Chains A and B, each alone.
Chain A
């Protein structure tokens, strides 16, 4: 018996009927599949080909800003692993915030679904809401954005195909962007290739990995993982000894718990070659500055993480060789394929 499946069976030629979007599975890299639990895909926003394509279009389109000059991609640039090379991003009026834009990749494996530096967004969808109306970012209103999208010649049809029915609202906009963001998967660094047996590391990179994994030296693994976790972050919140007193409370401002003051989410150590400047406030321009901070520059405070050792001395005092080797290893986590044109503007 022949069964004819019509993937757009209820669509009329005038494009106003319903549509069945095409399911789209995330391409889970081998190292991820072998070593960590599956990604988080909310049942209320399953990935579809049409949804991802729409999200990509929206991500790169300045239509989301009030004066049509600023897109998500302006602060999350492909070439920079979807972060901003500037310490603080420029909003549409030239105003700037106080935090560095976070890079965007492997977001579906943030199991706690706490996003942004301070964990104030509880899902990717929720995160996408804020920049549109933030006065120092896109400075728009959702009503204005939705009106512009409805008046556009292409978006109404794209929304209908992405969500099955006609209609545009803020929820659909953020769902589509979140779908696209979940496809930003970085998994082909030199170290990934080394783990897959496709290349070798230099002696310097290998020693750098040992420094990273040595509790008496780098001790980076407790918060940033190991060769058994390709995310290179715990996505948890820590005070890593940047300040004695806090101008930015970080997680503490979200929870209201003083014990969380000065804590920020651990960023992934992937793609550091592209994501300078570093830390939540972009205070360090180079990896050398970052390594020097952990080695010699720790500052005591009431909430500093217990894993920050020898704080009174500023840190464990890595040797110049260990610092250089650690840097070489960290750079081996950069995925040059990820920043190529495949994810760039549609």
Chain B
């Protein structure tokens, strides 16, 4: 099985001209940071070669396939033990379907030193989601309809499953900012979330190997029933909250090289 990895070389686009800050311990050199995004179904590695086959069993017992997986991460943040937090500008639309990262070319370096936490945002925070018009994301048809508040998707996970009548059906597990359109005014609830990778010391070019366990989207804390929740989930306020809750357990840091 071919192991799919997506390399994200993170750009330090903020000014590194803070070398005159004599209180900062990390001023002498810097290193390239790489995010290597891997994907699993529990303990089994998943690549696009595994797509289009009913080979996965979710927590609710349905057999299912994956036909598409795209998701957005942003706000890659380095929190030093001493000094100012560094948040990288930009974002990555990771497309496992086509084995591409559509926002390639993000390259840069991070000052060497000890960081108490490194994190990223799954999706966009509200400022990033609504205040910018991203040409590359528009080109990738990543938009959320204005009826649902606009902005952009956080994830598109699609495939087929065998329902409780043994019929093959499609599902479209699309994550966006939750919106309730049932009242006179739209009610929103944030569903982006921060993924904390923990502390580390950076003294050389470093790769963070991060895994998305796709099975977790259907497992914890909410056992997802595809018979009930399969399509038309974008306007489903409650479904979006369930996705948000399950998303908390999806990512984990496997190793640092």
Q: Hey, which bits of chain A sit against chain B, CB under 8 A?
A: 34-37, 111, 210, 213-216, 219, 221-223, 225-229, 234, 257, 259, 300, 302-309, 311-312
- Residue of B136, B158, B232 near A216 (CB, 8 A) is B232
Whether B172 sits at the interface, judged by CB under 8 Å, is yes
Nearest residue, chain A, Cβ from B98: A112
Centre residue among A221, A306, A312 by max chain B CB count within 10 A: A306
Evaluate contact between B170 and A226: CB separation under 8 angstroms: no
Whether B133 sits at the interface, judged by CB under 8 Å, is yes
Q: Lowest 9 CB-CB distances: which A-B pairs, in order?
A: A306-B170, A259-B52, A213-B145, A306-B158, A228-B138, A36-B139, A215-B234, A309-B231, A37-B139
Q: List 10 A-B contacts (CB under 8 A).
A: A213-B146, A216-B232, A225-B141, A226-B141, A228-B143, A229-B141, A300-B168, A306-B160, A307-B158, A312-B167
Whether B51 sits at the interface, judged by CB under 8 Å, is yes
A215-B159 contact, Cβ under 8 Å, with A306-B170, A311-B169:
no
Whether B67 sits at the interface, judged by CB under 8 Å, is yes
A50 to B143, alpha carbons, bound, how many Å?
39
A111 cross-chain contacts in B, Cβ below 8 A: 139
A234 cross-chain contacts in B, Cβ below 8 A: 141
Evaluate contact between B139 and A305: CB separation under 8 angstroms: no
B136 cross-chain contacts in A, Cβ below 8 A: 37
Whether B247 sits at the interface, judged by CB under 8 Å, is no
Closest-CB distance, B185 to chain A (whole angstroms)? 17
Evaluate contact between A229 and B139: CB separation under 8 angstroms: yes
Interface residues of B in 158-215 (CB under 8 A from A): 158-160, 167-172
Chain B interface, DSSP helix/strand/loop, else mixed: mixed
A227 cross-chain contacts in B, Cβ below 8 A: 146
Closest-CB distance, A72 to chain B (whole angstroms)? 28
- Residue of A214, A300, A304 near B147 (CB, 8 A) is A214
Chain A interface, DSSP helix/strand/loop, else mixed: loop
Q: Hey, which bits of chain B sit against chain A, CB under 8 A?
A: 51-53, 67-68, 133, 135-136, 138-139, 141, 143, 145-147, 158-160, 167-172, 231-235
Evaluate contact between A259 and B170: CB separation under 8 angstroms: no
Evaluate contact between A229 and B145: CB separation under 8 angstroms: no
Evaluate contact between B172 and A307: CB separation under 8 angstroms: yes
Nearest residue, chain A, Cβ from B51: A259
A215 to B181, alpha carbons, bound, how many Å?
13
Evaluate contact between A215 and B232: CB separation under 8 angstroms: yes
B160 cross-chain contacts in A, Cβ below 8 A: 306
Evaluate contact between A307 and B135: CB separation under 8 angstroms: no
A223 cross-chain contacts in B, Cβ below 8 A: 141
Nearest residue, chain A, Cβ from B152: A228
A301 to B139, alpha carbons, bound, how many Å?
29
A309-B52 contact, Cβ under 8 Å, with A35-B133, A225-B141:
no
Evaluate contact between B133 and A34: CB separation under 8 angstroms: yes
Evaluate contact between B158 and A228: CB separation under 8 angstroms: no
B232 cross-chain contacts in A, Cβ below 8 A: 215-216, 219, 309
A37-B147 contact, Cβ under 8 Å, with A221-B141, A304-B170:
no
Evaluate contact between A35 and B135: CB separation under 8 angstroms: yes
Evaluate contact between B235 and A222: CB separation under 8 angstroms: no
B68 cross-chain contacts in A, Cβ below 8 A: 306
Task: Given contacts A214-B145, A214-B235, list 8 more A-B pairs with CB under 8 A.
Answer: A35-B133, A37-B139, A213-B146, A214-B147, A226-B143, A305-B67, A306-B159, A307-B172
B143 cross-chain contacts in A, Cβ below 8 A: 221, 225-226, 228-229
A269 to B170, alpha carbons, bound, how many Å?
24
Nearest residue, chain B, Cβ from A234: B141
B138 cross-chain contacts in A, Cβ below 8 A: 35-36, 225, 228-229
A259 to B55, alpha carbons, bound, how many Å?
14
B139 cross-chain contacts in A, Cβ below 8 A: 36-37, 111, 229
A332 to B25, alpha carbons, bound, how many Å?
61
A257 to B232, alpha carbons, bound, how many Å?
29
